[in-house]
Amino acid sequence: MSSSSLDRCFTILEILADHRLGLSLGDTASRAQIPKSAAHRLLNSLCSTGYVVQLPSRDYRLTLKMPVLGFRFLSNTGILDECQHVLDRLAGEIGDLVRLSMVNDDTLVWVAKAQGAKSSLVIDPVMGHEVALHATATGKVWLASLSTEQALRYVLRDGFGTPQQHGPNVIQTIEDLQAELAKTKERGYGLALEEADPGIVAIAVGIPSAKSADTIVATVSIAGPTSRLSEEVLVGHLPKLRAAADQLRGIDVLMEFADAAF
């Protein structure tokens, strides 16, 4: 398979990942910006390898082979085994969701979590998703560590979205983003108040590289509903959150894996 065909295969996989019910050949080709004949050939190849299945409706949908592959790799790194006890302890102490994200090329990905909430009112996002950089405490703390040019490029690539797609307070302009990132950098933590999702607030701190304190390679965050967490309560959790970040930075397998990307 040529490098061009390989690139197109990955493009198709990324497109289908956003459509749980599947897509038609025509829609897949249109979104991938390739001829239908090429899309059909590549989809047949992906079907033959088990990464895609053609439904009775003739639409194409991802199988679970790709996420299984990713989680198998993540499990084999040992990161989850080493980090989970830190997340579990913090979640138990604060009684809400704690998440670990890692820098993956030009974005962040949720890789581990611990749920400390005991009531029926919990939030529990799917792991493996990319982080909405401008709308989350996690994304902000990483963006604030980058140059202004890099941060704007990554956010503009994904788009600001709308309050209907995220939360009612989501940032909508470059000027507001720059002001928020400056504030985030100054105070040393990211804060999101009903920005990623309505009714959800979060706070996050960065985990620096073992090689450089100025390079953020991962983040740890606390998130929960506004009925339990105000801005004051979130900031009150900062000492425990920072202590957890220090513990995570001391885990060799996490740092070795994260630093290998830089």
pLDDT at residue 42, as a whole number? 95
Closest CA to 141 of 186, 185, 87: 185
Q: What is the CATH number of the domain that holds 189?
A: 3.30.450.40
Do the beta carbons of residue 254 and residue 82 sit within 8 Å? yes
Distance CA 200, CA 39 (A): 40
Tokens of 93: 């102490």
Q: How far is CA 74 from CA 70, 71, 115, 126, in A?
A: 6, 5, 20, 15
Residues 6+ apart with CB under 8 A from 185: 144, 145
Which candidate, 151, 52, 55, 137, places its Cα nearest to that of 101?
137
Claim to verify: residue 97 and residue 226 sit in the same structural domain = yes
Q: What is the pLDDT of residue 129?
A: 61
Q: Could you tell me if 126 and 44 lie in one domain?
A: no
Phi and psi angles of residue 170, each rounded to the nearest 5 degrees, phi first: -60, 140
Q: Could you report the per-residue pLDDT of 219-258, keeping only the tens digit for each? A: 999 999 999 999 999 999 999 999 999 999 999 888 888 8
Return the pLDDT at 2: 62
Are 109 and 213 in a shared domain?
yes
Residues 89 and 37 occupy one common structural domain: no
Given a cut of 60, whether residue 101 has pLDDT beyond it is yes
CB 171 within 8 A of CB 190: no
With cut-offs at 50, 70 and 90, classify the pLDDT of residue 109.
confident
State the average pLDDT over residues 85-114. 92
In this structure, the answer to whether residues 37 and 86 fall within a common structural domain is no
pLDDT band at residue 68 under the 50/70/90 scheme: confident
Percent of the chain with pLDDT over 70: 93
What is the per-residue pLDDT for 84?
92
| Burial track 111-123 (b if 16+ CB lie within 10 A, e otherwise) | bbbbbbbeeeeeb
Domain final residue, candidates 42, 63, 84: 63
Query: pLDDT above 90 covers what percent of the chain?
Result: 68
Amino acid in the structure at residue 201: V
- Distance of alpha carbon 54 from the chain centroid: 28
pLDDT in tens, 153-183: 999 998 998 888 899 999 999 999 999 999 9
Q: Indicate whether 7 and 78 sit together in one domain.
A: no
Cα distances (Å, whole numbers) of residue 214 to 51, 142, 220: 39, 11, 16
Q: Are 88 and 96 in contact (CB under 8 A)?
A: no
Q: Are residues 28 and 149 in the same domain?
A: no
Tens-place pLDDT, residues 74-83: 778 888 888 9
At residue 73, the pLDDT reads 82
In order of 51, 68, 111, 175, 222, the CA distances from 204 in angstroms are 35, 28, 15, 22, 6
The CATH number given to whatever domain includes residue 24 is: 1.10.10.10
Number of domains, the chain: 2
Residues 55, 87, single domain; the answer is: no
What are the DSSP calls for 184-252, one per residue?
Answer: HHHHTSEEEESSSSTTEEEEEEEEE-SS-TT-EEEEEEEEEETTT--HHHHHHTHHHHHHHHHHHHT-H
The span from the CA of 158 to the CA of 171, in Å, is: 13
Q: What rounded mean pLDDT belongs to the chain?
A: 90
pLDDT band at 18 (very low <50, low <70, confident <90, very high): confident
* Domain boundaries, position 121: 70-259
124 in the same domain as 43:
no
Verify that 57 and 95 share a domain, yes or no: no
Instruction: Please give the residue that has the higher pLDDT: either 4 or 41.
Output: 41
Say whether both 35 and 109 belong to one domain: no
- Of 43, 63, 83, the residue that ends a domain is 63
- Residues 49, 172: one domain? no
